[in-house]
Amino acid sequence: MNAVSGYVSHQKPKIDAGTVEAWIADDPDPAAQAELRDLLDRLPDTAAAAELADRFAGPLTFGTAGLRGPMRAGPNGMNLAVVRGAAAGLVRWLAGRGATGPLVIGFDARRGSAQFAAETARVATGAGRAALVLPRPLPTPVLAHAVRVLDAAAGVVVTASHNPPADNGYKVYLGEQLGGPAGAGAQIAPPVDAEIEAAIRSVGPLSAVPLGPPGTVLGEDPVTGYVAAAAGVVDPGSPKQLAIAYTPLHGVGGPVLAAALARAGFDPPAVVAEQAEPDPDFPTVAFPNPEEPGAMDRLLALAAETGADLALANDPDADRCAVAVPERGPGGGWRVLRGDELGVLLADHLIRRGVPGCYATTIVSSSLLRALCAAREVPYAETLTGFKWIVRAAEDLGYGYEEALGYCVAPGMVRDKDGITAALLVCELAAGLGAELRTLADRLDELAAEFGVYATDQLSVRVDDGSEIAAAMRRLRDSPPASLLDEPVTGVEDRADADVLVVRAGTTRLVVRPSGTEPKLKAYLEVVEPVAGPEDVPAARERARAALHALRTETTAALGLW
DSSP string, 275-290: GSS--TT-TT-SSS-T
Q: Which of 161, 365, 366, 367 is catalytic?
A: 161
Return the pLDDT at 74: 98
Return the pLDDT at 7: 40
517: confidence class by pLDDT, cuts 50, 70, 90: low
Return the pLDDT at 41: 95
**For residue 151, is pLDDT > 70?**
yes
**Hey, is 90 helix, strand or coil?**
helix
Residue 156 in contact with residue 184, Cβ under 8 Å? no
**For residue 328, is pLDDT > 90?**
no
**For residue 9, is pLDDT > 70?**
no
pLDDT tens digit string along 101-136?
A: 999 999 999 999 999 999 999 999 999 999 999 999
Greater model confidence, 331 or 234: 234
Q: For residue 15, what is the DSSP state?
A: P
Return the pLDDT at 10: 41
pLDDT tens digit string along 200-252?
A: 999 999 999 999 999 999 999 999 999 999 999 999 999 999 999 999 999 99
Q: Compute how many other C-beta atoms are within 10 angstroms of the C-beta atom of residue 381.
A: 19
Q: How far apart are CA 559 and CA 398, in angstroms?
A: 37
pLDDT tens digit string along 261-300?
A: 999 999 999 999 999 999 999 999 999 999 999 999 999 9
**Hey, is 144 helix, strand or coil?**
helix
98: confidence class by pLDDT, cuts 50, 70, 90: very high
Position 549: which residue type?
H
**For residue 37, is pLDDT > 80?**
yes
Residue 103 in contact with residue 134, Cβ under 8 Å? no
Per the prediction, the chain carries an average pLDDT of 94
pLDDT tens digit string along 290-303?
A: 999 999 999 999 99
Q: What's the rounded mean pLDDT across residues 35-50?
A: 95
**Ranges in the chain annotated CATH 3.40.120.10:** 17-219, 224-233+241-448
Residue 406 in contact with residue 346, Cβ under 8 Å? no
Mapping DSSP onto H, E and C, the string for 211-231 reads CCCCCEECCCHHHHHHHHHHH
Would you call 161 a catalytic residue per the annotation?
Answer: yes
533: CB partners within 8 A, 6+ apart: 449
Residue 249 in contact with residue 271, Cβ under 8 Å? no
Please state which CATH number belongs to domain 453-559: 3.30.310
**Hey, is 449 helix, strand or coil?**
helix
Q: What percent of the chain has pLDDT over 70?
A: 96
Return the pLDDT at 178: 97
Q: How far apart are CA 515 and CA 496, in angstroms?
A: 14
Q: How far apart are CA 162 and CA 518, in angstroms?
A: 10
308: confidence class by pLDDT, cuts 50, 70, 90: very high
Q: What percent of the chain has pLDDT over 90?
A: 87
Position 341: which residue type?
E
State which fold the 224-233+241-448 domain adopts.
Answer: Alpha-D-Glucose-1,6-Bisphosphate; Chain A, domain 3 (3.40.120)
Give the CA radius of gyration of the chain: 24
Give exposure, 115-154, as e/b (b: 16+ Cβ within 10 Å): ebbbbbbbbbbbbebbbbbbebbbbbbbbbbbbbebebbb
**For residue 2, is pLDDT > 70?**
no
Mapping DSSP onto H, E and C, the string for 284-343 reads CCCCCCCCCCCCCHHHHHHHHHHCCCEEEEECCCCCCEEEEEECCCCCCCEEECCHHHHH
Return the pLDDT at 494: 93
Please state which CATH number belongs to domain 17-219: 3.40.120.10
Q: 121-135, 167-181, 234-248, 517-531: which range is least confident on average? A: 517-531
562: confidence class by pLDDT, cuts 50, 70, 90: low
Q: Compute how many other C-beta atoms are within 10 angstroms of the C-beta atom of residue 224.
A: 12
Return the pLDDT at 1: 31
Return the pLDDT at 4: 38
**For residue 467, is pLDDT > 90?**
no
**Hey, is 549 helix, strand or coil?**
helix
**For residue 3, is pLDDT > 60?**
no
Q: What's the rounded mean pLDDT across residues 322-350?
A: 93
Q: 12-16, 116-120, 253-257, 411-415: which range is least confident on average? A: 12-16
